């Protein structure tokens, strides 16, 4: 393994911590509010937290009583929170009011472990990965206008996890944690799923989260061991960006989110905080 491009010191605790009054309950998902740069994340008790843009404080606005996983926000400032225990996606407004729950049923299939939500480019659809331990499918799609849903991608997945929409909106990238690696699923003109193909193998890692950077590179967070990669889809070059053997700052990294080209945030299922990673040292 090559040396990381950033020192561990580039990572710091942004908000929370085991002794902090703003201690977060093992956050798994994180997203950025485009209005003011605030962060949203969940907790293992089903909490929905809003973190101030400067990291100075966190507020719990809601709680499902379940187990919160991935989270995303749309342009109307609605939040989509995957809930492991309730087997659904809970939709909130930005005041923490629950609006609805998206339950996945398609014939004999039902949504088992909603892990991560991602919106289509026009935000008409919500795609949700389903982490079935038995190696089943796949990815669900919810029509946010009609409420219809379908098991959109039915191919076998090896622990479907993080999702990211390609910058051109024409494909989904999916972490398969037990493959282990990243797959690409084309979104066909008909709206159907194309054939899944493995684009990146990570035989020494257990990947979890994905996020595209502003420059089009795909970043992959690794649950175990604790590290983060950058992958360039055009060239296939894989860079090790940072790792934290001590797990003081990055501890079982799950989902990641960019606020801009120089700031990456990481949720830590093994800890009580959100990590901020300063990327200016890469330029």
Q: What is the pTM of this model?
A: 0.97
CB distance 91 to 74 below 8 Å: no
CATH of 8-282, one of 3.40.50.2000, 2.70.70.10, 2.120.10.30, 3.40.50.300: 2.120.10.30
Cβ neighbors of 212 (< 8 A, separation 6 or more) are 164, 165, 166, 167, 218, 219, 258
pLDDT at 136: 85
Q: Copy the structure tokens of residue 188.
A: 């066909």
pLDDT number for residue 163: 98
Q: What are phi and psi of 185, to 5 degrees?
A: -120, 110
Distance CA 234, CA 274 (A): 31
The gap between the terminal CA atoms of the chain, to the nearest Å, is 22
DSSP assignment string, 205-264: -EEEEEEE-TTS-EEEEEEETTEEEEE-TTT--EEEEEE-TT-SS--SEEEEEEEETTEE
Identify the pLDDT of residue 131: 94
**pLDDT for the residue 283:** 67
DSSP symbol at 134: T
Nearest to 140 by CA among 156, 148, 129: 129
Average pLDDT per 10 consecutive residues for the chain, totaling 283 residues: 92 97 97 98 98 98 98 98 98 98 96 97 98 86 96 96 98 97 98 98 97 98 97 96 96 97 97 98 85
């Amino acid at each position: 393994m090559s040396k990381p491009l950033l020192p561990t010191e580039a990572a710091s605790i942004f908000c929370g911590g085991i002794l902090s009054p703003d201690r977060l309950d093992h956050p798994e998902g994180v997203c950025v509010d485009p209005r003011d740069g605030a962060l949203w994340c969940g907790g293992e008790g089903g909490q929905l937290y809003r973190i101030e843009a400067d990291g100075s404080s966190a507020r719990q606005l809601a709680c499902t009583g379940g187990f919160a996983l991935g989270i995303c926000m749309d342009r109307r400032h609605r939040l989509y929170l995957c809930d492991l225990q309730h087997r659904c996606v809970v939709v909130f407004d930005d005041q923490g009011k629950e609006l609805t729950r998206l339950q996945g049923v398609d014939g004999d299939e039902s949504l088992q472990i909603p892990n991560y939500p991602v919106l289509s480019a026009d935000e008409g659809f919500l795609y949700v990965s389903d982490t079935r331990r038995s190696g089943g499918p796949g990815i669900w799609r919810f029509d946010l206008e009609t409420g219809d849903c379908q098991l959109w991608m039915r191919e076998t997945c090896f622990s479907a996890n993080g999702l990211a929409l390609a910058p051109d909106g024409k494909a989904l990238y999916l972490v398969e944690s037990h493959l282990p690696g990243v797959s690409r699923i084309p979104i066909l003109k008909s709206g159907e799923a194309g054939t899944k193909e493995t684009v990146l193998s990570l035989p020494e890692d257990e990947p979890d989260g994905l996020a595209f950077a502003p420059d089009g590179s795909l970043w992959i967070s690794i649950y175990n061991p604790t590290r983060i990669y950058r992958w360039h889809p055009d060239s296939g070059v894989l860079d090790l960006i940072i790792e934290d053997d001590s797990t003081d700052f990055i501890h079982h990294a799950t989902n990641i989110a960019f606020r801009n080209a120089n700031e990456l945030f990481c949720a830590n299922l093994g800890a009580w905080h959100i990590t901020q990673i300063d990327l200016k040292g890469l330029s």
